[in-house]
Structure 1
């Protein structure tokens, strides 16, 4: 069986340096760490997890608290992309991921108890109900957390600039000549939904455009079918909008389907714009114009912040807001253009 002494002999580094590389000590250069890890893989070395825990006082496990209301779960392309980039950083640093639930041993207890039982070093949170008392219990504990798409002083947070993104969407549509712009909201029960609706309202006011209550329709949980239903309501209006900005790409795709089923063409009869830039957005017909969130950066920054917090690096809670950009494709055009 290969030992750290075999790896030390092969690489020319001391056994102490090899051990430090496996345990992510900060005084080992990244190039040295990579060489040692590469050699270990080639030699088939498997570190003893129990020994690592005793040495470093860590479980080397991160909890993933993921609960969203659509039923799609991790299959949702936005969440899947963010979790994947988070995982890549965590695994590269020697951590395993474990999903956290309220149930322990078949009995409902709570997120915090689950974390305590499994001894996780920290938790990344993707959650649809931030008023859940079980979540609040975890937030008030001493377990390091980083939360996606949320605002609180009790935890590290990482999100995109949702307000600015919505304003960019409206500004792009106005640049094409649209003035009757509707919004399919993701709902005010989530921070992204709230901030994107606020951005839509602010941009409409900035451009001096009429802000109509019947032009704001909720598409709950960012679900495709709710985008479809919301678009149906907008198309029933006597003076329907010429453009629709949806708070998520799945909402926008549902809106495109509803327009087509009503005998309309996108973008000739009505323009549709989304938010997220999920992978599917570029492959549908017409390809979806949208606001791109940098999912790779969201997951990477969340992982970096959480790992630094576990290692007690830095002071205070970080609130990272990442920029977004408009991606122009085929689903928007000037009003009335054929």
Structure 2
């Protein structure tokens, strides 16, 4: 069996340095950490979990709360990608993930009770909803937490720049000559939905565009069905928009289907921009222009922020905003002549 002494001998670092690297101490250089972790992987080193728990006073377990409103669970394309990135970054340091269940010994318990019972070192919360009371209770507790894609003053937060993403989408459509822009919004109870709507309204106002109220349509919880039904409402208007910015790729894909079912075409009749850059967005017809969220960076930043709290044994409420980028594909068309605002 490979021991910590074998790792030290192979890398040339002391046993103390190897131990610190394995336990993610801050006073180990990036070069040393990488060399040691590479050797750990190459040699198949597995620390004794019981001994490690006694020595470090940690359970080496991180709790996961995953809440999404579509009911698809881990099949959700955006959240699953973020969790996978988070998993990779904590797993390489020896942590296991424990997905929350509210049942302990066949009795329903709160998230806080569940994680106290399990003795987790920290919790990552992936949620789009503002109003889960049990999540709020957990964030206000002494357990280190990090929240992804949600605002909180009681917890560390990692989120995409949803507001700026809307600016990028609107500016791009404006540069193509579009003045009659509609927005398929995410549900008002979601942080991302609100931020992206605020970005759309602020950016269109800054460009001097008059957006009619009926051009803002609720797409529900970022589903294809929500996008389809929202686009049907836009298609029923007497004055049609020339471009639609959807708050999520699933919404955009649903809208594209509604456009095709109504006998129209993308981008000849309507230009469409989405948000997320989920994998399928590049394979729909036409490939979707969208705002890309960097799920790898979101997961990595969340892991580092949570581990920092675990190692320092001090809870923080730092907030990290991850930049987004416009990905141009084939779902938008430049107008030959600039359109006037609808009456």
TM-score band by shorter chain is over 0.9
Q: Secondary structure at the match of 1:55?
A: helix
Question: Which ranges in structure 2 are unaligned for 5 or more consecutive residues?
Answer: 338-343
Normalising by structure 1, we get a TM-score of 0.93
Structure 1 window deviating more from structure 2 (145-154 vs 10-19): it is: 10-19
Greater than 6 Å deviation, 4+ residue runs: none
Q: Secondary structure at the match of 1:311?
A: helix
Asked if 2 retains the 8 angstrom alpha-carbon contact of 1:270 and 1:335, the reply is no
Distance in 1 (CA, whole Å) between partners of 2:316 and 2:254 is: 42
Where does residue 256 of structure 2 map in the other structure?
256
Q: Deviations over 1:87-131 (max 9, x none)?
A: 121112221111113222332111001111111111111124332
Asked if 1 retains the 8 angstrom alpha-carbon contact of 2:185 and 2:218, the reply is yes
- Tell me how far 1:25 sits from its aligned partner: 3.3
Asked if 2 retains the 8 angstrom alpha-carbon contact of 1:166 and 1:200, the reply is yes
Where does residue 68 of structure 1 map in the other structure?
68
Q: Secondary structure at the match of 2:221?
A: helix
> Are 1:97 and 2:123 matched, yes or no?
no
Where does residue 132 of structure 2 map in the other structure?
132
- Tell me how far 1:149 sits from its aligned partner: 1.7
Where does residue 288 of structure 2 map in the other structure?
288
Q: Secondary structure at the match of 1:304?
A: helix
Q: Secondary structure at the match of 1:220?
A: coil
- Tell me how far 1:313 sits from its aligned partner: 7.8
Where does residue 272 of structure 2 map in the other structure?
272
Distance in 2 (CA, whole Å) between partners of 1:326 and 1:6 is: 48
Asked if 1 retains the 8 angstrom alpha-carbon contact of 2:252 and 2:274, the reply is yes
Asked if 1 retains the 8 angstrom alpha-carbon contact of 2:167 and 2:199, the reply is yes
Task: Indicate how the Cα distance of structure 1 residues 42 and 181 shifts in structure 2: closer, same or farther if over 3 A, else same.
Answer: closer
Matches within 5 A, 1:135-154: 135-154=135-154
Where does residue 233 of structure 1 map in the other structure?
233
Normalising by structure 2, we get a TM-score of 0.91
Where does residue 85 of structure 1 map in the other structure?
85
Where does residue 323 of structure 1 map in the other structure?
323
Task: Indicate how the Cα distance of structure 1 residues 175 and 22 shifts in structure 2: closer, same or farther if over 3 A, else same.
Answer: closer
- Tell me how far 1:40 sits from its aligned partner: 4.4
Where does residue 340 of structure 2 map in the other structure?
none
- Tell me how far 1:74 sits from its aligned partner: 1.8
Q: Secondary structure at the match of 1:221?
A: coil
Distance in 2 (CA, whole Å) between partners of 1:264 and 1:147 is: 41
Asked if 1 retains the 8 angstrom alpha-carbon contact of 2:166 and 2:199, the reply is yes
- Tell me how far 1:291 sits from its aligned partner: 1.1
- Tell me how far 1:297 sits from its aligned partner: 1.2
Where does residue 118 of structure 1 map in the other structure?
118
